[in-house]
Amino acid sequence: MAKHKPLTEQVIVVTGASSGIGLATARKAAELGACLVLVARSGDVLAALANELGGPKDRAIAVVADVGQRADVQAVADAAIARFGRFDTWVNVAGVTVYGPLREISQEDQERLIQTNLWGTVNGSLIAAEHLRGHGGAIINVGSIASDLAFPFQGLYATSKHAVKGFTDTLRMELIAEGAQISVTLIKPASIDTPLPDRARNYMDRRPTLPPPIYPPEEVAHAILHAAVNPQRDIIVGGGGKLFVMGKEFAPGAYDELAPAIIAMQKRSGPPEAPEGTLHNPSRAGQVRGDPPIYVMRSSAYTRVSLHPLASAGAVAGLATVAALLLSRATRKG
């Protein structure tokens, strides 16, 4: 598929725009000249953000919506068309997580997470596709390396992101079959420095965190906006995440044995500060970054290379060699 319009000519819808990856993407898109439709549950934060990014020409609007509700998402599309006449790229970022063993998580919390992470993506993608069929464009879904891996104590999150991958792949194939000029990209970030852990519903007796290595949200924003212009099927953000995925593919049994270590890496010192999180009620929005207790990488050389397919073949081959060596050692020790 050929390139899409340059960002200076695009109208971009960003869900989950009030914090983390969504907020980083919105700010970067505005900096690069795009018009924006900002979507989240936090109306006050969105209004301030639209004022910040819209500039004197009002190039950004805020639409309060719960992406898990199809009527809300349709209202987003209608607002975008009413204000700008169209949209060119739809980015599904909105997501939540729950920390804790599967057996302890309430049915209500399970359903809320799936409603946001999976149905929010389904709603956004299908409504966006109906509009984009008329003139082409991009649908970009933010999954995770948890689309390919299981993470104990974030099992429902991994479940939802596996489902997002299956839906995204199917939608892409169906659009290809009908000849629609719509690219569909799945972004799969590794651990990213956002407020997600501190906004999570937490059943653990410790504060949650993310397993290393951790990458900056701006790296995900860069990948998303690259895909908005240059269609790409999948983008993993973070070379460490790519190694995890490849390692699991090479030796799934060895990966399973890492469960105790993965659980430990998701706990930090100190008791939970707000265990209810923002799963059911929006709060504490407006921040791009969190406060992880470990070093955050400045960027991902692997991801930057992977955005250029010819160069990425060599990078993948090198990572495959590293993964094979690491897993062979782990298997021998086991």
Banded pLDDT at 230 (limits 50, 70, 90): very high
Banded pLDDT at 310 (limits 50, 70, 90): low
Q: Which residues contact 78 (CB under 8 A, 6 or more apart)?
A: none
Q: pLDDT, tens digit, for every residue of 48-82?
A: 999 999 988 899 999 999 999 999 999 999 999 99
Q: What positions carry a catalytic annotation?
A: 157
Q: What is the pLDDT of residue 321?
A: 55
CATH topology of domain 8-333: Rossmann fold (3.40.50)
Banded pLDDT at 28 (limits 50, 70, 90): very high
Please report which helix (H) or strand (E) contains residue 226, including its range.
helix 217-229
Q: For the chain, what are the domain ranges?
A: 8-333
Give the C-alpha separation, 182 to 202, whole Å.
38
Q: Which residues contact 164 (CB under 8 A, 6 or more apart)?
A: 117, 118, 121, 141, 143, 147, 186
CA angle 86, 89, 91 (to 5 degrees): 125
Half-sphere exposure of 43 (CA within 13 A, CB side): 2
**In contact, 88 and 137? CB cutoff 8 Å:** yes
The strand ranges marked E within the chain are 11-15, 35-40, 60-64, 89-92, 98-99, 137-142, 182-189, 191-192, 201-202, 207-208, 214-215, 234-237, 267-268
Q: pLDDT, tens digit, for every residue of 127-178?
A: 999 999 999 999 999 999 999 999 999 999 999 999 999 999 999 999 999 9
Q: Which residues contact 106 (CB under 8 A, 6 or more apart)?
A: none
Phi, psi dihedrals of residue 196, rounded to the nearest 5°: -50, -50
Share of the chain above pLDDT 90, in %: 88
Which candidate, 4, 50, 7, places its Cα nearest to that of 225?
A: 7
Q: What is the pLDDT of residue 1?
A: 72
pTM beyond cutoff 0.75: yes
Give the C-alpha separation, 25 to 3, whole Å.
19
Q: pLDDT, tens digit, for every residue of 255-299?
A: 999 999 999 999 999 999 889 999 999 877 899 999 999 999 999
**In contact, 191 and 238? CB cutoff 8 Å:** yes
